[in-house]
Amino acid sequence: MLEHLILARHGQTEWNVAGRAQGRADSPLTEAGLAQARSLGRTLADLGVTHIVASPLPRALRTARIAAEIAGCAVSTDDRLVERSFGTLEGRFVAEAMADDPRWTAVLRATDPSVAADGGETLHDVAARMLPALEDARALPHRCVAVLTHGQSISATLAALGGQDAAGYRHGNCGYTPLSLRDGRLVFDRWNLAVADLADA
């Protein structure tokens, strides 16, 4: 019976460093991102994780596979764990997009759950697919499962569970949040925890 879910973000990517909106687009992990993934693997092992469910986007799946090799567990994927779609903003430099049109600040900084970029998703849309994905992860035959996903997907999920603004739940690369069950509900009291270290050992 599941006791804990660990929500974690992927490692640093080249577009993270460049300040570009990724969404469903992708960019490779940096060397720092690879080190973060290895450190996440050690952390997940210490937490007793025995399975990882990952977003199929390459940056998340590679992070998950690196972490799983270290933690000694298997990886499965769930399409509902992909990052928020930023529509026409994907690939744009975040600062430039916000300067061009102040409306995009609410999207790129996750400050308004009902606003979407052209062709993109609202945070409400993201939570509506993420929460059922977590319920399915709960049903897996493991005591501790990690869900490896993306920054705004995590923010939308925690906002839905915790009742606060999504912007307050931002996660750094490979930051993680432990979720536990209380009266049949997923709850948390800490978020965006850092992996123990980023050493390449």
Active site residues: 10, 83
State the CB neighbour count (10 A cutoff) for residue 69: 13
Alpha-carbon distance of 111 to 173, in angstroms, equals 20
N-to-C CA span, the chain = 33
Which region holds residue 184: left if phi is over 0, alpha if psi is between -120 and 50, else beta? left
As to burial, measured by CB atoms within 10 angstroms (0-12 exposed, 13-18 middle, 19+ buried), residue 164 is exposed
